[in-house]
């Protein structure tokens, strides 16, 4: 499989101009999501989703648990050596 160079098809998008720090945007989105999720009641959290056997709570918690696992992994890597 040839990944680069790429000469055919749609060109790969390129960023032009200065790259802005995404922290402010990410924090706004995180706060907005937290505000939405804070309004969920127990029944809404227990509702099924399109993901078989996953509730709304399971889907919400998945990235939290993945983030926790990555944090623990990085912390453990820092203790090795």
Q: Is residue 62 part of a domain?
A: yes
Q: Is residue 71 part of a domain?
A: yes
| Phi, psi (deg, nearest 5) at residue 62 | -55, -55
Q: Is residue 2 part of a domain?
A: no
How many structural domains is the chain composed of? 1
Q: Is residue 1 part of a domain?
A: no
Boundaries of domain holding 65: 24-79
* Per-residue pLDDT tens digits for 33-70: 999 999 999 999 999 999 999 999 999 999 999 999 99
**What is the rounded distance in angstroms from the CA atom of residue 25 to the CA atom of residue 3?**
31
* Per-residue pLDDT tens digits for 11-27: 777 778 887 888 998 99
Q: Is residue 72 part of a domain?
A: yes
Q: Is residue 70 part of a domain?
A: yes
């Amino acid at each position: 499989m040839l990944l680069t160079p790429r000469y055919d098809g749609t060109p790969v998008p390129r960023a032009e101009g200065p790259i802005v720090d995404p922290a402010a945007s990410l924090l706004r989105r995180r706060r907005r999501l937290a505000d939405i999720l804070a309004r969920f009641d127990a029944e809404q959290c227990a509702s099924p989703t399109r993901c078989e056997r996953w509730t709304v709570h399971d889907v919400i918690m998945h990235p939290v648990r993945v983030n926790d696992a990555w944090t623990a992994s990085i912390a453990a890597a820092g203790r090795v050596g």
